[in-house]
Amino acid sequence: MTYAPLPEFDHEHVTTVSGARSGITITVAIHSSRLGPALGGCRLSNYDSWADGVTDALQLSAAMTLKNAAAGLDAGGGKAVITLGTGETLDLQRRRDVLFDLGDLVESLDGRYRTAEDVGIDQDDLRIVAERTRHVVGLPGHTPGRGGPAQDTALGVYASIYATLEAMGTPGVVGRTVTISGLGQVGGRLARLLTADGAQLIVADVDPSRRTLADELGARWVSADDVLVTPAEVFVPAALGGVLTATTIDVLAVRAVVGPANNQLAVRDGADRLAERGILYAPDFVVNAGGVIGLAMATEGADRALIDQRVRAIGDTLRASFREAQDQGITPLAAAEGIAAARLADAVGQPHK
């Protein structure tokens, strides 16, 4: 994973601790609570160093501020990261210990940050965290309908792909080639939706067991190494962030990038580079907001139909970003950041940002 350098420190509050039970480094980063108490998942992942874990928490929480603002949620941006060393795994006892440590840390923030699932944390883990804190969102049984943020995230990406193809002047997915890198919780669900609509899928995953789904859907399987150079109309990054480096942008053979991975751009000028290559970039924090929209709305008691409607409206936010970009001669990323910034600027009576 490549981390774009942070231009400045503008977070409201960051706490990094060694868990009292586990000794594992845990960071909670609250970037902004201007629109409400911060909401964002907890990631449990391996890092080269504890400092990389902190950097990831800083970047992910800043992205949550943009995501929640652009999605029209009354929620600020925050994120937690549990930092495991390279190759480190947890046995059941240690996993429980670190989840209790996380719960205590979240509880100590008294509701300023609400945690949820993210990569490496599932609903069983959330149940354990909830034994130590009230500030957990998306517990099993709390989301109406099909449940789980991945389905809502996939639906938001699906709506985004339609909006992007429309902006490219080639609406609809029938017969269009779409490459999905990462057939996990989101990528797998998205693959099913697009196949049902008649898209031609090309898929890759580092986990060979995902090939079963590829075969079931009649998708073409390519290696994870080749996925970026394989020609297609749309590239969907659905694995880890940081996939769009100066080098990979130069070799991409697609017309658009639309995917759920957080913080896809490893270089700050990545959006400009994509535009120079004539590749339409759908900003990740707009595209992947479905999960958090579902979580936030479920806590407010919304029903499934209303949540679906709001998740599908991600396509409209994207259309507005593309229009603004066209009108102003800026990238869609800058336009989407402008939409989020306008909401943040309108918020009153809350702390700075």
Ligand X SMILES: NC(=O)c1ccc[n+]([C@@H]2O[C@H](COP(=O)([O-])OP(=O)(O)OC[C@H]3O[C@@H](n4cnc5c(N)ncnc54)[C@H](O)[C@@H]3O)[C@@H](O)[C@H]2O)c1
- What kind and span of H or E run contains 61? helix 50-70
Please state, in angstroms and rounded to a whole number, the distance separating the CA atoms of residues 224 and 138. Answer: 32
Instruction: Give every CB contact of residue 303 below 8 A, 6+ residues apart in sequence.
Output: 144, 145
Choice from 27, 262, 321, 331 touching ligand X (CB under 6 A): 262
Rounded least distance, CB 261 to ligand X, Å: 4
In angstroms, the CA 144 to CA 153 distance is 15
> Torsion-angle region of residue 240: left (phi > 0), alpha (psi -120 to 50) or beta?
beta
Candidate ranges 69-77, 89-97, 98-106, 199-207; the one touching ligand X (CB under 6 A): 199-207
By CB under 6 A, which span of 24-32, 45-53, 77-85, 234-242 interacts with ligand X? 234-242
Give yes or no for residue 215 binding ligand X (CB under 6 A).
no
**The binder of ligand X chosen from 55, 185, 230, 331 (CB under 6 A):** 185
Contact between 207 and ligand X (CB under 6 A)? Answer: yes
Min dist CB 27 to ligand X, Å, is 16
> Is 153 near ligand X (CB under 6 A)?
yes
| Per-residue x/- track, 287-326, ligand X (CB under 6 A) | -x--x-----------------------------------
Determine the 3-state secondary structure of 258 from DSSP: coil
Residue in the shown chain whose Cβ atom is closest to ligand X: 184
Q: Where does residue 120 fall: left (phi above 0), alpha (psi -120 to 50 degrees), or beta otherwise?
A: left
Residue 184 binds to ligand X (criterion: CB under 6 A): yes
Judged by CB under 6 A, the residue of 20, 196, 206, 246 near ligand X is: 206
**Of 79, 95, 189, 312, catalytic:** 79
Q: Which segment (18-26, 89-97, 177-185, 322-330) binds ligand X by CB under 6 A?
A: 177-185
Residue 67 among the catalytic residues: no
Pairing of strands 25-32, 13-18: antiparallel
With residue 44 as reference, give the H or E element that holds it.
strand 42-46
- Distance set, CA 186 to CA 64, 158, 182, 239, 346 (Å): 18, 10, 8, 9, 33
Angle at 176 (CA atoms; ends 175, 182), nearest 5 degrees: 120
Active site residues: 79
Residues that bind ligand X (CB under 6 A): 119, 149-150, 153, 181-187, 204-207, 210, 224, 238-241, 260-262, 288, 291
